[in-house]
Amino acid sequence: MTSSRDPTPNASILNGVSVLVVEDAWFVAKAVKSALEQVGMNVLGPTATTAEARRLVAMEMPKVALIDVNLKQEMAFDLIDDLHGQGVQVVVASGYAAPPIAKEKIAACLQKPFSGAELIRTICAIVDRLH
């Protein structure tokens, strides 16, 4: 994630919304968590594995999940399918231009590197559609 201080006018709708972060690059995960917490989101994780993500989801179902599709030890396709099936809005973060995921299973796709402002705008648009 790249840094950016672009204002996001409707970020207040994210206050208290739970979001699962699944990212195996610790510096990206840390930056994402910080950006999401700054707008008041309740961040579950971050975690670098699908097993840990499932454990977190069993404790609290998020409204949104930001998932790096290509984790070091595994691909996150099954996790994305499961979360989509449970009504979670999935945002895929990927270095791939077009990750091989059915478009109906994801709410958005962010190509790495992305800015904090781009992340917040994307999640704002998703949460806004839910209201």
Question: What is d(CA 57, CA 46) in angstroms, rounded to the nearest whole number?
Answer: 12
Please give the structure tokens belonging to residue 24: 């195996």
Give the distance, in angstroms, between the CA of residue 24 and the centroid of all CA atoms in the same chain.
13
Which domains does the chain possess?
11-130 (3.40.50.2300)
pLDDT confidence tier of residue 4, bands split at 50, 70 and 90: very low
pTM > 0.75: yes or no: yes
Task: Give tens-digit pLDDT for 26-63.
Answer: 999 999 999 999 999 999 999 999 999 999 999 999 99
Question: What is d(CA 81, CA 107) in angstroms, rounded to the nearest whole number?
Answer: 12
Contact by Cβ (8 Å): 69, 90: no
Looking at residue 120, its amino acid is I
